[in-house]
Amino acid sequence: MKSQVIDIHPHIISDDTSAYPHAPLGGKQSTWSKERPVTFPDFIAAMDEAGVDKAAIVQSSTCYGYDNSYLIDSIATLPERVTGVGCVDVTSPDAPAVIRDVAAKGISGLRLFTGGSTMKVNVDWLDDPATYPAWEVAGELGLPICVQSRPVALPIVEKLARQFPDVKIVIDHLARAPVDDGPPYKQAEVLFVLADRSNVFLKVTPRTFDQVQEGLASAETYFARLVEVFGSDRLAFGSNYPSSDGSLPEIVARAKSNLGSLSETDRHNVLAGTAQRLYPALSDKEA
């Protein structure tokens, strides 16, 4: 089995604010995008250093909002190695047209941002009927939708997963479901119940690696539990670089360490195989 690493959650920031002006969601730019921005060329260099084969770069919505221009322009220069996960206002009447447009320009997935350090978390709009046309188009085009939120959003995700079974839904950072109670992780049951929805996937990030150091949790027991409940083919690694602390090589090394107790097949799925299932543009091309 070929050893690969595919990152489905890095971010990029241009150093040209004239060509790519900042317009963060909620009006407040994230600290990381101001203090430690990484341009697309710098990210590719970091990929090479870290041994990351391919990536699905996530729109920096806390810097650019719904303007996916820098992401689209960047991935167009290296489509054999990277693709993009865009951010669109799915409550807008023109959302279906916008989604078709960005998909035609190389965007392979969407991300819904509900809030965090730059704006209060608000999940009220997630299942607003106004968003349904956007979900229908995503299903038609085969675009996975990442949901960034907290456990409060998970019942809504379950509803949407039932309503739109053709859409793969990816839970960013595992919604930060609590794990400090340790095995069998009953506090995370709000997340585990989504295992019955085969179109729900989980994104494992440094946020998760931080959590398994809390209380009675451990990497060995929690990742084994996730694989038991969901299967490794529904878990995928995302670096959250450079939002997360550390260099990309450090984050990748941390991921491999946290997943070290899994079988070779399960590690491969989390580090690469599931990513290729979610984003076929990152699949291995036949020679």
pLDDT digits (tens, 9 = 90+) for 194-225: 999 999 999 999 999 999 999 999 999 999 99
Whole-angstrom distance, CA of residue 216 vs CA of residue 225: 14
Structural domain containing residue 269: 6-278
pTM of the model: 0.96
Q: Is residue 21 part of a domain?
A: yes
Whole-angstrom distance, CA of residue 237 vs CA of residue 272: 8
Q: Is residue 149 part of a domain?
A: yes
Q: Is residue 11 part of a domain?
A: yes
Into how many domains does the chain fold? 1
Whole-angstrom distance, CA of residue 116 vs CA of residue 177: 15
Q: Is 146:109 a contact under the CB 8 Å cutoff? A: yes
Q: Is residue 1 part of a domain?
A: no
Whole-angstrom distance, CA of residue 270 vs CA of residue 287: 25
Beta strand 6-7 with 200-204: parallel, antiparallel or unpaired? unpaired
Q: Is residue 150 part of a domain?
A: yes
Regions of the chain with pLDDT less than 50: 286-287
Structure token pair of residue 63: 């810097």
CATH number of 111's domain: 3.20.20.140
Instruction: Give the number of other Cβ atoms within 10 Å of residue 116's Cβ.
Output: 17
The 3-state secondary structure of 59-74, one letter per residue: CCHHHHCCCCHHHHHH
Beta strand 200-204 with 235-237: parallel, antiparallel or unpaired? parallel
Q: What is the largest CA-CA distance in the chain?
A: 51
Q: Is residue 287 part of a domain?
A: no
Q: Is residue 211 part of a domain?
A: yes
pLDDT digits (tens, 9 = 90+) for 133-145: 999 999 999 999 9
Q: Is residue 283 part of a domain?
A: no
